[in-house]
Structure 1
Amino acid sequence: MLKLHYNLERVSMGLVAAIIIAASVGGIVEIAPLFTIDETVEVPDDLRPHTPLELAGREIFIREGCYACHSQMVRSLADEIDRYGPYSQAGESAYDHPMLWGSKRTGPDLARIGEKYSDEWHVRHLIDPRSVVPASIMPAYPWLLKSLDTDLLTDSLATLSRLGVPYSDEMITSAASDALAQSRPDSNETDGFRARYEERPAIRAFDGDPARLTEMDALVAYLQALGTLTVVSETVVVEVDE
């Protein structure tokens, strides 16, 4: 075998062909299961899609590169479950395009961060991380207090709807007003937002000021939604314990 490998190394084109074949086999093994993902991943009955404001926050999360330091995947290991909560399941990310599970953790996993800390904590943490976590190495994001651009939300919801996310036509056309309504609990649009998204999404001024709609509102709304879109993980953990 070693002699064959040695002889192959002496023929550059043969070595290139062997590398291509080996990489192709590895790629097929990784990619082939994705063609059956619709049959293998069960979408929880209670899974809700992100609201327009949360979706805007998710885009900011991606834009600022937060995924490079924070995974959203609790592995089924005892120490991770003890620290972060119930392990992640594929169905929880069925409406995520792209999914943000990740594997790099410079900071803690965020899969169960929703409602773990107050909105005020998140705002302070994003503006000045060391004001709440003295040992933090996370950069500050003070520019998130600028106004949120909602012009692309309608198109974003429409695109996700084509990919199978259950946004209705009314949700799509009302995306910009629903983003505003979620951050203003006393606005006239709140009833319409509740009619479309029911009682589960939080309605409040996430940045602390209902008079403005900021990128901070959107990102905090998204963080507070992580791990709360379905209760499937809690159900599974209970069944295992029993």
Structure 2
Amino acid sequence: MLRLHYNLEKLSMGLVVGIIVAASIGGIVEIAPLFTIDETVEIPDDMRPQTPLELAGREIYIREGCYACHSQMVRSLADELDRYGPYSLAAESAYDHPMLWGSKRTGPDLARLGEKYSDDWHSQHLIDPRSVVPASIMPAYPWLIRPLDTEILSDQLATLAKLGVPYDAEMIAAAVGDAIGQSQPDSDAGDAVRERYGADVAVRAFDGDPARLTEMDAVVAYLQSLGTLTNAPYELFAEGAQ
């Protein structure tokens, strides 16, 4: 076998063909299961899509490269379960495009971050990380207090709807109003968000000021939604503990 490989290295075209064959086999092994994904991943009945504000926050999270240091995948290892909670289910990312799983952890995993800290803590942490975590090496994001651009929110929801995310025509048409309403807890628009996305959706001034809609509102709303879109992993974890 070694002699065959040695001789193959002498033939450039033969080596190229060998590489293509090996890569093709690996690609098929990885890609083939995706054709049955709809049959193997069962979406929980209580699973909800992200609100327009949470979706905007997710886009900013990706834009700022947060995924490079924080994973969103709790693995089924004892120490991870003790630190982060129930291990991640594939169904939790059924509506994610792209999904943000991974095991790179310069910072802690965020899959179960939702409602673990207050909105004020998150805002301060993003503006000046070391003011709340002195040993933090996370960069600061003070520019997140600028106004949120909502121009393409409806188009984003419409695109995701074509990919299978359950946004209906009413949700798509009301995307901008719902993004604003989710940050105004005492308004009719805030009530409309709850009607469309469920009573458990967080509706509050995430950056502390309901008179404005900022990127900070969006990012904090997104962070507070992580791990809260379905109770399935917590129920499964409770069953396993019995």
Residue number in structure 2 paired with 1:205: 205
2: CA distance, partners of 1:13 / 1:205: 62
1: CA distance, partners of 2:214 / 2:5: 60
2: CA distance, partners of 1:123 / 1:49: 24
- Scaled by the length of structure 1, the TM-score of the pair is 0.98
The answer to whether 1:40 aligns with 2:40 is yes
2: CA distance, partners of 1:189 / 1:236: 35
Residue number in structure 1 paired with 2:157: 157
* Shift, 1:159, TM fit: 0.8
Correspondences of 1:10-89 after superposition (within 5 Å): 10-89=10-89
Residues 138-147 or 191-200, more deviating: 191-200
2: CA distance, partners of 1:63 / 1:15: 39
For structure 2, the 5+ residue unaligned runs are none
2: CA distance, partners of 1:26 / 1:185: 51
1: CA distance, partners of 2:198 / 2:5: 64
Residue number in structure 1 paired with 2:166: 166
* Shift, 1:200, TM fit: 1.2
1:71 counterpart SS class:
coil
2:98 counterpart SS class:
coil
1: CA distance, partners of 2:2 / 2:102: 37
Residue number in structure 1 paired with 2:3: 3
* Shift, 1:186, TM fit: 1.5
2:101 counterpart SS class:
coil
Residues 118-127 or 95-104, more deviating: 95-104
Q: Deviations over 1:201-238 (max 9, x none)?
A: 11100001111100000000000000000000011111
Instruction: Work out whether residues 185 and 204 of structure 2, in 8 Å CA contact, stay in contact via their aligned partners in 1.
Output: yes
2:188 counterpart SS class:
coil
* Shift, 1:40, TM fit: 0.5
Amino acid of the residue matched to residue 121 of structure 1? W
1: CA distance, partners of 2:218 / 2:100: 17
Residue number in structure 2 paired with 1:226: 226
Amino acid of the residue matched to residue 83 of structure 1? R
Amino acid of the residue matched to residue 53 of structure 1? L
Residues 154-163 or 221-230, more deviating: 154-163
2:55 counterpart SS class:
helix
* Shift, 1:70, TM fit: 0.5
* Shift, 1:4, TM fit: 1.0
2: CA distance, partners of 1:10 / 1:198: 65
* Shift, 1:188, TM fit: 2.8
Amino acid of the residue matched to residue 52 of structure 1? P
For structure 1, the 5+ residue unaligned runs are none
Correspondences of 1:155-194 after superposition (within 5 Å): 155-194=155-194
* Shift, 1:190, TM fit: 2.1
Q: Deviations over 1:102-155 (max 9, x none)?
A: 221111000000000000100000000011111111100000000001111110
Residue number in structure 2 paired with 1:105: 105
Amino acid of the residue matched to residue 183 of structure 1? S
Structure 1 runs of 4+ off > 6 angstroms? none
Residue number in structure 1 paired with 2:114: 114
- Scaled by the length of structure 2, the TM-score of the pair is 0.98
Amino acid of the residue matched to residue 157 of structure 2? L
Q: Deviations over 1:28-59 (max 9, x none)?
A: 11111111111100101100000010000000
Amino acid of the residue matched to residue 182 of structure 2? Q
Residue number in structure 2 paired with 1:147: 147
* Shift, 1:8, TM fit: 1.0
Instruction: Work out whether residues 183 and 190 of structure 2, in 8 Å CA contact, stay in contact via their aligned partners in 1.
Output: no
